[in-house]
Structure 1
């Protein structure tokens, strides 16, 4: 039985739908918190602007102390890591 272009079309549909849904399944509501079995806690912060880009910080806490924050940009159905804040220092990623 020949299937023709069904498999490539199905794969394309899955890739498109997963890109659109990325912002829906990745948490982005301020104060959302989750704990890993290692004891690390991650918590979503208030939206802010860094280097002209609207980002949502996600704090990584160990023993109640924030050790770093991921600076996440939600756009086009995707979630992008734009930078990391460690203390007051920001390491910024520039997409190519």
Structure 2
């Protein structure tokens, strides 16, 4: 039995099984640096930080540590934009 803590980098559905690829964030105590395995059960999404235990190519359990957080871009509108007018090159004044 082996364990890995890391991010799910790839997730695919193949032949009735969900196949995961995890890249480790914690490699202390001779833990794996990456792992590929499949399961009939869907656990978590791509980008999630998980702790998974598995035996051979089969998952025993996968615990979610932190889900992927997608940052939304904030649209900013500038309402107080002023038009920049260039300085006049010449000016004529008529006195009639």
Q: Same fold (TM over 0.5)?
A: no
Higher relative contact order (CA 8 A, sep 6+): 2
| TM-score, structure 1 normalization | 0.30
Q: Give TM-score scaled by structure 2 length.
A: 0.30
